[in-house]
Structure 1
Amino acid sequence: MNHNDHIDITIIGGGLAGLNCAYALHKRLPNKNITVLERGDRVMGLTSSASTGGFRNFFPNSRAMTNLSNRSIDLLLEYARASAGTGNEFMMNRCGYVFLSAQPEQMERYKKQAQAAHEFGSVPSILRWHSGAIRYNGHPYNPEKPAAVFSSVGFDFELYKTHKDGLDLIDDPAVIRKLVPDSVTKDVRVMFHVRKAGYLDVEGLGTCHREELMR
């Protein structure tokens, strides 16, 4: 940058928030000169570098967080599609987010949280209860009348892997241990699986945005 450079927008901070902001503005205002100022010797060098990269849209106690996370994840999916094949992929993995409990009574709490999440827009009316059994798949969630679709005796593990939205609630310890064998002790009785969730390579996302901005 020299004294003759014209800057339309300046963003202070080259962490993930700053780079995401710059990237979004660049896509919407391609003719604007956007500059990111970072006091360190590299972007993504402070708190962003310590991020685990986890994301989820499940916040049953906050409509604001639900709306924010839903929109953020949708944008991340757009970015992931745009980066595919460029060499700057940031490995977005929609594996989900799992809550585990050794207390069977936790099942009722998870059901209530699922209802709240649905009302906030986290899930599109999908709650699947596997035990002896739930699978709400596209049908309105009625907490008073859970619709059992298949039992855990004939649990379809391949079908289970295909779900990308909604919530899964499982109270069969044998099934849970098969689904997440490295993470579960023999005491676990309930598993609550949030599907619009997962993890990504945070530094890879920052690199993807930086490379796009420097073109």
Structure 2
Amino acid sequence: MNLSYWEYKTWLSNIDFTIVGSGIVGLNCAYYLSKKYPKAKILILEKGTLPQGASTKNAGFACFGSISEIVSDLKTHSQQEVLELVKSRWEGIQLLRATLGDSKIDFQQHGGHELFLKEHTKLFSDCSQSLSTINNLLKPVYGEDAYYFHPNNFNFNKIQNQYITSRFEAQINTGAMMNALLSLVRNAGVNILNSITLTSFDDSLGSVKVCTNQFEFETRKLIIATNGFAAQLLNEDVKPARAQVLITKPIKNLQIKGTFHLDEGFYYFRNIDNRILLGGGRNLDFKTEETSEFGQTQLIQNRLDSMLQEIILPNTDFEIERRWSGIMGIGNTKRPIVKQLSDNLICGVRLGGMGIAIGSLVGKKLADLA
């Protein structure tokens, strides 16, 4: 360590709460801690120059579950469990909107549409037959029927003639959301240190000794909010899942508007700034995509390219402008892990690809636990 007295005194002494991860969960946790304990000294450690993981790398879906996802979940979860999952996503989005305001996150409610490939006749039939049951199940959350049939008026190719649409789903600007959260937290007096990697910690004493790639210090409470990277720090049921994404250059007179799911949710796309953003394909190679390393693979990128060409934009010229990936945290169940691991150690991880929907709620629950 080569820290001056001033550096140590200002940033690393008398820390009440240290949060690992400056994604949507970590920032919300810091914000609600600052409201609950206005005199507390709160520190966030972030290993990237920008928030890593998925918070700044996702597709910007404010979604609660496509029809096929709900049908699938009902095969492995009770109706009450599925109801609680959807309710937590709904409440999380409302909390995010109330915290930041719709204009700061560019909240646009154009509906969420699930498309069904021509060959997925049985899946479409099963979802269609379940429509009334699922609408009734989720009416306590939405107050009215959420799902309905929608004609293929965007002229997608190689799909069934109808979508099944959720009227409440929306889209946001992920970058604007995270920038607003960062400003909110900094204005609350929280310190954020970037390019700092937690290497180990010891919570066996009255406080927690924290070791990083740059320095060591002590904190009264340590909160792990690293989601997809949590397996490197904790022995919990959470593992990384990489999601690959691309975006086109602007497309003249683009009419497509809304958020879309395809192939049981393994692919997803939306409009943004006269472009199409498309991601997914993890189901092509689950083993390779179970990684915390960023990057793309030819297998998945080729499939995304062909999907754009053959299904989404079959009669439109387009060019790809950018490709990237994000790291989600998944496990054997879709319920996030929010719990106290010891007197001074708490975690909020395994968001299951629903970070935008439940991240604010998980962050607030962490603050309440602390």
- Is contact 2:64–2:89 with CA below 8 Å preserved after alignment? yes
Secondary structure, counterpart of 2:94 in structure 1: helix
- The list of structure 1 runs, each at least 4 consecutive aligned residues, that deviate by more than 3 angstroms after superposition, is 27-31, 58-61, 101-106
Map 1:56-71 → 2, pairs under 5 A:
56-58=63-65, 60=70, 61=74, 62-71=82-91
RMSD (Å) for aligned C-alpha atoms:
2.7
- Give the Cα–Cα distance (whole angstroms) in 1 for the partners of residues 28 and 130 of structure 2: 35
Whole-angstrom distance in 1 between the partners of 2:174 and 2:45: 19
- 2:8 is aligned to 2
Q: 1:116 aligns with which of 106, 128, 137?
A: 137
TM-score normalised by structure 2 residue count: 0.38
Residue 157 of structure 2: which of 165, 180, 185 is its match? 185
1:39 and 1:55 map into 2 onto residues whose CA distance is 26
Query: Deviation digits for residues 45-96 of structure 1, max 9, x if unmatched?
Result: 3332321121223474313312321220111110232x74xxxx22122222
Indicate the SS of the match to 1:192: strand
Residue 21 of structure 1 is matched in structure 2 by 29
What CA distance in whole angstroms lies between the structure 2 residues aligned with 1:28 and 1:57?
29
Q: Does 1:204 align with 2:183?
A: no
Deviation string, structure 1 residues 14-67 (Cα, Å, up to 9, x no partner): 122211221232344333322111122x23133323211212234743133123
What aligned pairs does 1:1-215 form with structure 2 within 5 A after superposition? Answer: 2-3=8-9, 5-40=13-48, 42-58=49-65, 60=70, 61=74, 62-81=82-101, 84=103, 89-101=104-116, 103=121, 105=125, 106-118=127-139, 121-124=140-143, 126-127=144-145, 167-170=146-149, 176-178=151-153, 181=154, 184-185=156-157, 187-215=159-187
Q: Counterpart of 2:22 in 1: which secondary structure?
A: coil
Q: Deviations over 1:132-185 (max 9, x none)?
A: xxxxxxxxxxxxxxxxxxxxxxxxxxxxxxxxxxx24126xxxx233xx15x33
- Listed one character per residue, the Cα deviations across residues 110-141 of structure 1 (whole Å, up to 9, x for unaligned) are 222222323xx3321x22xxxxxxxxxxxxxx
Do the aligned residues in 1 keep the contact of 2:112 with 2:169 (CA within 8 Å)? yes
Cα distance 1:35–1:187, how it changes in 2: closer, same or farther (>3 A)?
closer
Distance 1:34 1:50, change over 3 A: same
Local SS of the residue matching 1:23: helix
Partner-residue secondary structure (3-state), 1:36: strand
Unaligned runs of 5+ in 2: 1-6, 75-81, 188-370
Unaligned runs of 5+ in 1: 128-166
Please give the secondary structure, in 1, of the residue aligned with 2:15.
Answer: coil
Q: CA deviation at 1:189?
A: 3.0
Q: Aligned residue pairs: how many?
A: 160
Contact 2:56 2:178 in 1 (8 A): no
Secondary structure of the residue aligned to 1:66 is helix
